[in-house]
Structure 1
Amino acid sequence: MTEPSARRWHNHWVHFLAFGFGSGAAPKAPGTFGTLAAIPVFLLLAYLPLWAYLMVVVLTFALGVYLCGQASKDMGVHDHGGIVWDEFVGFWITMIALPVHWAWVIAGFVLFRFFDIIKPWPIGWLDKRVHGGLGIMIDDVIAGIFALAILQVVYQVFFS
């Protein structure tokens, strides 16, 4: 069975956000395009104090559980490829407390996409067993945490 076209799902605010402001409607690699679309938002968020940045991440995660679950339900497909709000939040987790510099953004992008695509344990395990909006979000959250851990070690060892 093929997934419903992402182009049909842009006319409701839940779908618009779940599809990453439309970035998830990309015909190829919507997760990659979703992560790319998360970068400009990160560049704005990065100037918040750390406590506010973390608050935004927690709130957008909670919102994402709803958005992704509702969009998935509306489309009748669990984790439609075009639902990319989870990529937004996963990337923002990856970038917690890192310098705002193109090299860190690229490294964060590459590492986050690597873990999101490869899905090492427990990411793949969670992806198969947790359903609904939480299931859509949780694998990207863990992928973001893995990427964050690596970037923070590199930053602390080589740049602090």
Structure 2
Amino acid sequence: MRGIASLGGIGFLRPAPGTWGSLAVLPLALLPPWALVLAAAIFTAAGYWALTRLPEAAEDPGWVVVDEAAGQSLALAAAGASWLGVVLAFLLFRAFDILKPGPVGWADRQHGPFGVMADDVVAGALAALALLGISWLGWL
């Protein structure tokens, strides 16, 4: 369970384990958007499953980074094929995850495995929406 929750130990890297967890999935940007959405769903399901079996993970310890993998994968699904899109997906996701605006903050205040996973999935969805808007405006 710890292996899943920590993405094979990546969550134990210091400093900023959440950033390491987000960086770890950037190579997935080579996949098509549908595969990134599928990856986000798999990370979410596997993370939730693992967290329900790890009582110490119920309050989101820093080493749990499978949630970052889920959210970052979702953001990458809207990044397009450009390196700029990937960089923006990373920066937007991390900003939403750290600053926790609106619905991200609400999700973060939920308890247990749901809350641990939800704030990052919502941050990834917001980053994806922002990227789609940027792309629609022709800036990406």
The TM-score bracket by the shorter chain reads 0.7 to 0.9
| TM score, norm. by length of structure 1 | 0.78
**Residues 1:43 and 2:23 aligned together:** no
Question: Cα deviation per residue 1:70-129 (whole Å; 9 max; x = unaligned)?
Answer: 33x1x366101110000000001111143233211111110000000000112112211x
1:26 maps to 13
2:44 maps to 61
2:91 maps to 110
Query: Secondary structure, in 3 states, of the residue corresponding to 1:21?
Result: coil
In 2, the alpha carbon distance for the partners of 1:59 and 1:113 equals 20
Question: Cα deviation per residue 1:120-152 (whole Å; 9 max; x = unaligned)?
Answer: 112112211x22211100000110111111101
**Residues 1:83 and 2:64 aligned together:** yes
> Which residue type is aligned with residue 61 of structure 1?
T
* Shift in CA distance, 77/111, structure 1 to aligned 2, threshold 3 Å: same
Q: Structure 1 regions of 5+ residues with no counterpart?
A: 1-13
| TM score, norm. by length of structure 2 | 0.88
Match of 1:133 among 87, 104, 113: 113
* Shift in CA distance, 62/97, structure 1 to aligned 2, threshold 3 Å: same
> Which residue type is aligned with residue 113 of structure 2?
G
Residues 68 and 79, structure 1, Cα contact 8 Å, conserved in 2: no
| Percent pairwise identity | 35
In 1, the alpha carbon distance for the partners of 2:131 and 2:57 equals 37
Residues 40 and 69, structure 2, Cα contact 8 Å, conserved in 1: no
2:125 maps to 145
In 2, the alpha carbon distance for the partners of 1:88 and 1:82 equals 13
The number of aligned residues is: 140
Q: Structure 2 regions of 5+ residues with no counterpart?
A: none
Superposition RMSD in Å: 2.0
Query: Secondary structure, in 3 states, of the residue corresponding to 1:94?
Result: helix
**Residues 1:96 and 2:77 aligned together:** yes
In 1, the alpha carbon distance for the partners of 2:53 and 2:68 equals 16
Residues 40 and 71, structure 2, Cα contact 8 Å, conserved in 1: no
